Amino acid sequence: MSAAADAPRSFNSVVLPHAVDPGNEYPVKMLKYLLFEFAGVQQGRFLDLGGGWGAYTKIALDLGFDAISIDREPAAEGVPHHICDLKHGELPIESSSIDIVFSKSVIEHFYLHEIPHLMSEILRVLKPGGALLLMTPDWESNTKSFYQVFTHVTPYTRSSLAQCLKMYGFKNVSSKQFVQLPSVWHSAFARLMAKLTYYAPLPKSFSKWVRWSKELSLVGVGYKSCPD
């Protein structure tokens, strides 16, 4: 068998073919909420770490950020990106130059012994006061589905994600379970309904509302300390 035949297909094409173009407004709403309201970052240089096809890089550009994606595989055509081994290599970004590092569904692909290098590089490229915004599956609500992606290796809870950020020196750390339904983000009543749905004996396939009320994510944010 030839070397080409032995080579694995790309992760993005096998696991994330749907993410080339999400085809709806949800990713825009989600990124705006997480950047502007959760992390409190309105503008600046945006690094999409492990950005895959670069869908969130494109959204950040449309929102006025100076945005770039970094991944081990090429982004979609027209997306500014670098190719880099995130687990071992140095990020091809100058030190203290990034206002926010956004990383969605990436950290769960790292073993614990690989985290120190990743966090060190993130801290290196962030400006003082810059933010790291992480999103990852919530282990408590995804125990049955977490390992359906074969490269998932390290699950997180709300508290363990916060511990990770604090351990590597981030300040003003916050983490929470995140319901991927925009109607929940600003409504206490909708949050209550989603919470009740979480415990209801309904299959996730019943409706989009039921699925995302039960299949929670985690979001965590921390900030690089500023010199005294």
Domain limits for position 44: 3-179+216-223
Q: Is 98 exposed, middle or buried (0-12, 13-18, 19+ CB in 10 A)?
A: buried
Q: Residue 218 — left, alpha, or beta (φ > 0 → left; ψ -120 to 50 → alpha)?
A: beta
Query: Of how many residues is the chain composed?
Result: 228
* 164 falls within a domain: yes
83 belongs to a structural domain: yes
User: What is the C-alpha separation between 156 and 43, in angstroms, rounded?
Assistant: 29
Sheet harboring 45-49: ordered strands across? 81-83, 66-71, 45-49, 98-104, 126-137, 217-223, 171-178
Q: Please report whether residue 201 resides in a domain.
A: no
Tell me the pLDDT of the chain (228 aa) as tens digits. 444 556 566 655 555 555 556 567 999 999 999 999 999 999 999 999 999 888 999 999 999 999 999 998 888 888 888 898 888 889 999 999 999 999 999 999 999 999 999 999 999 999 999 999 999 999 999 988 988 888 999 999 999 999 999 999 999 999 999 999 999 999 999 999 999 999 999 999 999 999 999 999 999 999 999 887
Q: What is the pLDDT of residue 1?
A: 42
Is residue 185 in a domain? Answer: no
- When divided into structural domains, the chain yields a total of 1
**By the 8 A CB rule, do 214 and 144 touch?**
no
- Kindly state whether residue 205 falls inside one of the protein's structural domains: no
Q: Is residue 173 part of a domain?
A: yes
Could you tell me the CATH number of the domain that includes residue 51? 3.40.50.150
In a domain, 195, yes or no: no
Is residue 156 in some structural domain? Answer: yes
- pLDDT of 203 reads 92
